[in-house]
Amino acid sequence: MKNRREFLKDAATTAALLSAQSGLGLSRTKQHENEKPKVVIAHDPALHGTDGKLDSARVAALLDRAISTYTGHPRPADAWKRIVNEGGAKDKVVGIKTNGLGGRGISTHSVLVFAIAERLQEAGVKPGNILIWDRNARDLQACGFTINTDPSHLRCYGSDVSGFEENVETWGASRVRFSKILTRECAMIINVPILKDHSMSGLTFAMKNMYGVVEKPWELHGGGCNPGIADLNAFPVIRQKIKLTIGDAMTSVYEGGPGFRPEHLWQPNSLIIGEDRVAIDQIAWGILDKKRTEMGLKTLEAVGRAPRYIATAAGSAHALGTNDPQRIKLVEV
pLDDT along the chain (333 residues), means of 10: 47 39 33 78 96 95 98 95 94 98 95 98 97 98 97 97 97 96 98 98 98 97 97 97 97 97 97 98 98 98 98 98 97 95
Cα–Cα distance measured from residue 41 to residue 58, given in angstroms and rounded to the nearest whole number: 15
Q: Are 147 and 140 in contact (CB under 8 A)?
A: yes
In a domain, 291, yes or no: yes
Cα–Cα distance measured from residue 286 to residue 330, given in angstroms and rounded to the nearest whole number: 12
Q: Smallest Cα–Cα separation from 285: which of 241, 328, 243?
A: 328
For 86, 116, 122, 206, the CA distances from 58, given in Å and listed in that order, are: 27, 13, 18, 23
Angle at 165 between CA 162 and CA 170, to 5 degrees: 140
In a domain, 23, yes or no: no
At 39, which amino acid appears? V
pTM for this structure?
0.90
In a domain, 30, yes or no: no
In a domain, 67, yes or no: yes
Cα–Cα distance measured from residue 116 to residue 232, given in angstroms and rounded to the nearest whole number: 25
The pLDDT, as a whole number, for residue 168 is: 98
In a domain, 27, yes or no: no
In a domain, 28, yes or no: no
Label residues 101-127 b or e (16+ Cβ within 10 Å = b): bbeeebbbbbbbbbbbbbbbeebebbe
Residues of the domain holding 285: 4-18+36-332
CATH code where residue 266 lies: 3.40.50
At 287, which amino acid appears? I
In a domain, 314, yes or no: yes
Q: Are 202 and 87 in contact (CB under 8 A)?
A: no
Q: Are 232 and 214 in contact (CB under 8 A)?
A: yes
The pLDDT, as a whole number, for residue 35 is: 85
Cα–Cα distance measured from residue 292 to residue 283, given in angstroms and rounded to the nearest whole number: 15
What total of structural domains would you count in the chain? 1
The pLDDT, as a whole number, for residue 30 is: 40
In a domain, 24, yes or no: no
The pLDDT, as a whole number, for residue 25 is: 29
